[in-house]
A = this chain, B = another copy of it.
């Protein structure tokens, strides 16, 4: 019965990596809400804009690969951001299957308003710089070492 008991113990929240990962991600994202509310952005819209600020133009497939999101999630988010005037969407002339997502001037201006967000959230999470760096490395390691 020893082996049985060991297996049982595995089925506890505090024995599995998945749970602190899941809980921690939700709690950290929640810390963004008050600051993103000021910009009238959701977290998903925010990370989408972060990619747009860097890339200026991209298609949905590419964006999804960067954000780990599929078109089912991105399509409504992109339509909303287009409606808000931060980006435009149009089919590529060369290949009509591709949707070109392009940032607008208003979208570029939004970046100025968002600049303080990372710092503000950082203050809510009291982690030493070294620990943050360690965590960062480990998370990217996990992202890289999972089966496809």
Q: Chain A residues in contact with chain B, CB under 8 A?
A: 7-8, 10-13, 15-29, 31-32, 43, 47, 50-51, 53-54, 66-68, 111, 114-119, 121, 124-127, 131-132, 134-136, 138-143, 145-147
Contacts and interface: CB of A to CB of B under 8 A. Distances in A.
A66 B13 contact: yes
B121 A18 contact: yes
A127 B86 CA distance: 40
Given A17-B132, A18-B28, A124 B143 contact: no
A129 to B, nearest CB: 11
Contacts of A134: 134, 138
B17 A21 contact: no
